[in-house]
Amino acid sequence: MTTADFAPLRTERLTLRPLRPEDAAELHRLINDWEVVRNLSKLPFPYPREKADEWIQSTREQIEKGSAWHLAIVGQDGDEEVLVGCIGLTRQPETRDAEIGYWVGRRFWGHGVAAEAAGRLARWALAHLDLDRIKASCLAENERSIAVLRRIGLVESGRGESEFRARGGTLPVVLFEGGRENLTAPPPLPEPVLSAAPALPPGAKPLLMVVACALIDSDGRVLLARRPEGKPMAGLWEFPGGKMHPGETPEQGLIRELKEELDIDVSAACLAPFTFASHDAGGFHLLMPLYLCRRWDGTPRATEGQALAWVRPNKLSDYAMPPADKPLVALLRDFL
């Protein structure tokens, strides 16, 4: 990916975009401030002007390598773009973790900018990169940053120490981390779909009926869809399908879902019941029949912003999936 390929991330007030050479002067003005640098572990003070040019160039190279995404946080003042600060996400080698960090110019403190930017980048990363957890650390005395990390959903995971170059020594830090369960919206509690009783007995959970389909092409590959940003468990791969509507049969629900999600037409005669998953999802219990389908009309295309992948059966386990889908993989692989 080049910086030109990176689509800026937007929030209600902000845009997160790759840094540009012309940002260097304003970046230097904002960060060459003791009150900002004193809370950052890797930067010297004073911060030399030429370092801004070098760092911006390095961020563009890292985006192209896919190792880190350091972005400008910018706002709008009328028609004029205003640099507010910077935010970055760095992959941790040989893991499915990444570390997030940020700074904001002093004049913009107290306006919720850091939380707005950090939450947006973290959710984007979990939805679009092969990551499971976001980590962060901040100076133990930096109460503002601790509040930001808690606000976006990260939880304290321990204590440690880091070297702070501007301070000339090692200082205590608070460690944070979080996954999809912390940083993406939890699924809403469903209405009971299969319970005939008007009220559930004490201690019972609502039952959610979800239908899924393994579409199999002529080469024996299976179609997986990646949940898009903004949905619960964003970034995980699953078999296409979704929740049934009241009064639908499983086949009717699946035919509707495949049309809505993939713009394909499937007949009930082409849906073969294969197996099912039964999963305790916390606030409700999920029951998910899995159907096989080898014939449909149309070419599957993503209509809801999801990524699609045709996967060989022996490669299905390489894709991170929701807990309910995982047990189905071995059965499907052995069958195909």
Residue 261 backbone class (left: φ over 0; alpha: ψ -120 to 50; beta: rest): alpha
User: For position 187, what pLDDT does the model report?
Assistant: 52
User: For position 305, what pLDDT does the model report?
Assistant: 87
pLDDT in tens, 201-226: 777 788 889 999 999 999 999 999 99
User: For position 207, what pLDDT does the model report?
Assistant: 86
Say if 9-180 and 207-335 have the same CATH topology.
no
Which contacts (CB < 8 Å, 24+ apart) does range 331-335 have?
331/274, 331/275, 332/214, 332/222, 332/274, 332/275, 332/290, 335/274
- Fold for domain 9-180? Aminopeptidase (3.40.630)
- 179 three-class SS: strand
Interval 246-261 mean pLDDT: 95
pLDDT in tens, 26-73: 999 999 999 999 999 989 999 999 999 999 999 999 999 999 999 999
The residue ranges of every structural domain in the chain are 9-180, 207-335
**Residue closest to 190 by CA, chosen among 119, 130, 279:** 279
Q: What is the CATH number of domain 207-335?
A: 3.90.79.10
User: For position 188, what pLDDT does the model report?
Assistant: 52
Q: Which of 44-48, 101-105, 324-328 has the lowest mean pLDDT?
A: 324-328
Hey, what are 275's tokens? 């197996």
